[in-house]
Structure 1
Amino acid sequence: MKEAELVCAKCNVPLAPAKTTFVYLKHEFYADLPRCPVCGQVFVSEELTTGKMAEVETQLEDK
């Protein structure tokens, strides 16, 4: 699904890319992700969750 097709289920408005902060084991990471401009709900794709985010978690836990 393309980001342009994503709509907030709560507010029924299109999601727009926004800088998003993630914190894991006291480390901060930033990514531009689709976010609702009204309520702030962020869409995190399964691809990102099982790919890059899982990789970063593994690297930090191995330290």
Structure 2
Amino acid sequence: MLKKFLLPVIIFTLFVLAGCSSNAKPMEFDRIPWGDYQRLTYDIFENDKLVGTAEFTI
């Protein structure tokens, strides 16, 4: 019983750690649909409470 539980937990942990790698490459775009000096803002809500904001400036 313990082996059936432990193996998926180990595999899941390895996937999570691989996603947290510091070797991640930044996103690159060839062409963007915005002109220069425009700003894109995302507000992130959880249960109607603001938990974060992301802002991109072109």
Please give the range of the TM-score, normalised by the shorter of the 2 chains: under 0.3
Decide which structure has the larger Cα Rg and report it: 2
TM-score under structure 1 length normalisation = 0.25
Q: TM-score under structure 2 normalisation? A: 0.26
